[in-house]
Structure 1
């Protein structure tokens, strides 16, 4: 593989594979990774004074907790705060950012964790008593009802809860990261990071970023580091950095420095943060690949990049997203976690909601995992060489995607999921559930190893990179397209920032022109209604996946049959042997990637004008929660009616026939009435809809239209003139 230089790829002698033979070190080059802007729903707007009061309350409570702990004395067995129970849990978590341990006194792992948890608590009270976060425990033997309510399925279970606006109890926001060590030091970093992310006083925390040295910079450029580093590079001097006074050559650097300070605390536990002032450290900035930042006569914004240990195979990944703390921290966490190539088991995936046999209707997760599956005894250095490119593709994704590796056999789990899919869609009485087809399953889910699996949270529809030939796992462009196509969540939020992730640009030559996006409108202010709508979306997504595979599998069988008939006929007619062999070698293409549909939702509470701005409401319908539209992947056409011409609602029995009809009109028995595509962003009202045919072709369309009008005008004018001359002759 030969690519342009910008980020050095080192295929390491050390890989995170058990029982794998260490490969030789090979130097390759790849282009610097341009990371698309990671997007999410904007943080909810809250009253500033209310946030300040909450922060003061947290700080005061933390100080009181410290005083109580100190008063109890070092030898007091009650030094840890009282455990939370069903009676106290809701009130406490509704008022404080809380790091919780759910445990059982009979759990051996809990007993091993106990001294570390206690030491962390003591460290917190001694070193950072004003940090507005609380450590608490729940005994699941004594408070079984509480643990059952919170869905605790294993011990110890470490979770973070934060106050939720207008809620009677705290909101569970995340579990303690699997990739982080369970040590007092890691627990402290995690709590500082959590405060930075979820507490309004985070901006007051001192920056965790340190100024990099020349030695560190050289080590980072060579991958000679033991952990990931998130690096900021400023077109400034160290003196300017210290004084918070930047010259005109550094664009918006004061704002960038404030953001970087917050990011440095958000990514604690995921990466170390370092900054370089390139006017004072010109040599090292040039060595790291940013010579343009060393020139005082030019103007530049700060640059950001992740530097990884050489074991990741990819030394540098540039950050190209928006300079916001949320997006930058999300990028760093994703790259740091995925760059470890952590081994994952089938049971790990199942317990996390990725490889289960059923769908949990109470959840709608947005997480996606990419698994590099290999055979431990047969994996080679060449097989592993693709991992840096997979990491690059995962880093590019704007969605919550994480990369893992696994040497386990997934065939039985995939088969169980396929059968679970049939059981899940059986709840829809309007859907005809087929029998499990082993041949269809093999045709869509089989692959040689190594390969890639993509699993989506709370979904029974995995994606498999079908590796049929040696070159398939050497084709990094093909792999990148596979990850881009299937890394969407089962049904995720569609925001203005994510439009480019869901839709392709108009006018671009696009192999996915038959793909579509089903958009459902919801209102997050009514969580019960929103949950019910997303359950319907989930059911529809699973039904459509099954229907599409069945349709294209039947097409493949038909083409194979036609091929056999054609070859037999050639033999009967005694055609040339070369022609017969050529006909037999003709490959019947697999069409399972055609007519793919991605599902998303738009929150009208957050984006009430989204449909209008996207060009999907040319008739002024003013969509409400429960409405749905089907949009072409190019965002050129959309359909907002069912086959009978009525407004399209998110009901599987209504949307499913529309999707079937768009695959092949023969799939639906009824003849559509009043059903047609609409041109996105059409400037014409409904009674002039026929002008859309002209408008969709742009300037050329109007040029042809007016040329035809002019030609017709000339013909009519000549006829009238000719008739006038004849009339004059006759009158004489």
Structure 2
């Protein structure tokens, strides 16, 4: 029996299903890129959420090259952009010249971030203009909730003349507050946030917003905030290292920052020498750290345990830090000699926290290892783990004075000591070298710039890098994975400490006798300590850099590391181990399973199979892979030999051929001569 009514109803339902299905799953290539903003809708649109705006000219070749990349980024990021309330917009500076004049656009293409309060910052100069980098910039911008605020922070920075600031520098002993001061390529900027035309200073507009925030929060840390117009006070700015800001030019420059200490324990005037940062806390933390370091606070075992007994993993993720703080503790000898002014200044220039303690600090050093022992005793099948008493005694008997370096989040210190003949400047050189080696040692973010990547891979002190992949959108999972990595790292160090003791015991009977002497709590002589240190220095070290990368924030890490694509991709919890010496990486074990931090024990055993195989309980080796695009040294050497062989072979063939020709010529000549005769 036929029911026309039901057929019509089914057809209508089918059309509705197709319509809603299609509207729910819009294909990327069907998403229409919106028309450029104009004077009619520019301000209205920018008041809604965040906007990454491309100011362009239709006659600019670079703009034309960017257009398909921009459109691809818009389409791929469209659905996510709606959720994050951040949008890709464009302005045609030929058709809407008034907008570009108002925004001081001086080149094309010019990519900027805007929020409800107006201009926020420029697209980073060092970032590529690629689809991945544009999306990464959008995600990072949306993650900062301050960008969505509708009102700008008003600047309370005080405009000061060069002469007035010179007077403050000379009379800082009478002041309790330190002074943060910014230097600008301007002549009459009274308020640091007032609308100003900066020639050749693209970063100045972004930094105005930064300095306003600095002026709001720095006074809470007992720091006053000022700014100087360098075009008005040329001689003063030139005297203090900011001559490039005194003259108008179109060569690119950045504003400068300095700090003036409120005491004479170290030099008073400090110039900020790192690349310009747009994070206000960078300058406030730098200033407060300099004030603290100038006093070199005393620290105890209890203080260290309090500092480290925090959930640093959570703070790392929530604060979006690049790395943990580094603390350097100066351990005084029995003469109780304080650090010199020169050493204090050299250490403070490295952005580390400087502390001090006396020689009795080492008497209870085993208390530092108690929290680590608690962490690593997670596997009952391995038995109770306690640090070897010989290793503890080894630390207790280091030559003093010495330095102990703590990276925040790591209870285990790196120790810098020298033989008795080493002066304070000699010990300082050893410390600076060690700090450079430890740059990426504990839970640092994978660098994003080419320069920093080169530094990472040129540092061969630590041969291996363990890279933890996380997805910060899944914060609880990321905390778990980073926590497991932390435990595995401590567990690895526990085994490594046993390796150190075993190697020393194998050295000779004299070193064995020194360990026996230490076990009876008899203090070693200076010469005996030197013998012990000399033997320790000869041991092949197996330290490791532990780092992480957020796959939602850093979309280009695979390209920077030259990792191949894999069907399942790289997901939260994955581990990548990189051998910097051989230029190879490990992502799987011999069974083909992905390396990850789901199991603390398996991760620790994976590390031991590479570095200390005789200490590993696992019989599963790792499956190495060479980066597809890497210029591997072995291939390079083989290639050179092949080219050399081909070159020699060709020359020998040529010589034989020429020899035959020559011989034929002689025979022919003789034959012609015979005919003439």
TM interval, shorter chain, is: 0.5 to 0.7
Q: What is the aligned partner in structure 1 of residue 329 from structure 2?
A: 372
Q: What is the aligned partner in structure 2 of residue 403 from structure 1?
A: 354
| Residues 1:281 and 2:238 aligned together | no
Match 1:227 to one of 177, 188, 191: 177
Task: Measure the CA separation in 1 of the matches of 2:504 and 2:47.
Answer: 61
User: Are the equivalent residues in 1 in contact too, given 2:460–2:580 (CA < 8 A)?
Assistant: no
Q: What is the aligned partner in structure 2 of residue 187 from structure 1?
A: none
Q: What is the aligned partner in structure 2 of residue 348 from structure 1?
A: 303
Q: What is the aligned partner in structure 1 of residue 166 from structure 2?
A: 217
User: Are the equivalent residues in 2 in contact too, given 1:368–1:457 (CA < 8 A)?
Assistant: yes
Deviation at 1:543, TM superposition (A): 0.7
Change (3 A) 1:419 1:239: closer
Mapping for residues 234-633 of structure 1, pairs under 5 Å: 234-238=184-188, 244-246=195-197, 248=199, 252-270=203-221, 271-296=223-248, 299=251, 300-315=253-268, 316-326=270-280, 327-353=282-308, 367-375=324-332, 378-380=335-337, 383=340, 385-393=342-350, 395=351, 401-407=352-358, 409-429=360-380, 431=382, 433-444=384-395, 446-469=397-420, 471=422, 473-475=424-426, 476-486=428-438, 490-494=442-446, 496=448, 504=455, 508=458, 510-512=459-461, 514-561=462-509, 587-590=534-537, 594-617=541-564, 622-633=569-580
Match 1:704 to one of 617, 626, 641: 641
| Residues 1:683 and 2:636 aligned together | no
User: Are the equivalent residues in 2 in contact too, given 1:426–1:433 (CA < 8 A)?
Assistant: yes
Structure number having the greater helix percentage:
2
Change (3 A) 1:637 1:423: same
Report which of the two structures shows the higher radius of gyration computed on alpha carbons: 2
Change (3 A) 1:319 1:383: closer
Instruction: Give 3-state SS (helix, strand or coil) of 2:272's partner.
Output: strand
Deviation at 1:634, TM superposition (A): 6.6
Task: Measure the CA separation in 2 of the matches of 1:608 and 1:511.
Answer: 26
Aligned residues: 490
Task: Measure the CA separation in 2 of the matches of 1:212 and 1:370.
Answer: 37
TM-score, length-scaled by structure 1: 0.57
Task: Measure the CA separation in 2 of the matches of 1:330 and 1:585.
Answer: 40
Change (3 A) 1:407 1:435: closer
User: Are the equivalent residues in 2 in contact too, given 1:451–1:473 (CA < 8 A)?
Assistant: no
CA deviations over 1:75-104 (Å, ceiling 9, x no partner): xxxxxxxxxxxxxxxxxxxxxxxxxxxxxx
User: Are the equivalent residues in 1 in contact too, given 2:300–2:361 (CA < 8 A)?
Assistant: no
Task: Measure the CA separation in 2 of the matches of 1:345 and 1:339.
Answer: 19
Instruction: Give 3-state SS (helix, strand or coil) of 1:352's partner.
Output: helix
Deviation at 1:557, TM superposition (A): 2.2
Task: Measure the CA separation in 2 of the matches of 1:501 and 1:426.
Answer: 36
User: Are the equivalent residues in 1 in contact too, given 2:573–2:596 (CA < 8 A)?
Assistant: yes
Task: Measure the CA separation in 2 of the matches of 1:323 and 1:436.
Answer: 42
Measured on the aligned residues, the alpha-carbon RMSD in Å equals: 4.4
User: Are the equivalent residues in 1 in contact too, given 2:312–2:408 (CA < 8 A)?
Assistant: no
Higher relative contact order (CA 8 A, sep 6+): 1
User: Unaligned 5+ residue runs, structure 1?
Assistant: 1-46, 52-194, 396-400, 566-583, 685-690, 720-732
Deviation at 1:617, TM superposition (A): 3.2
Q: What is the aligned partner in structure 1 of residue 11 from structure 2?
A: none
Change (3 A) 1:216 1:714: closer
Deviation at 1:612, TM superposition (A): 4.0
User: Are the equivalent residues in 1 in contact too, given 2:308–2:411 (CA < 8 A)?
Assistant: no
Task: Measure the CA separation in 1 of the matches of 2:434 and 2:384.
Answer: 29
User: Are the equivalent residues in 1 in contact too, given 2:333–2:401 (CA < 8 A)?
Assistant: no
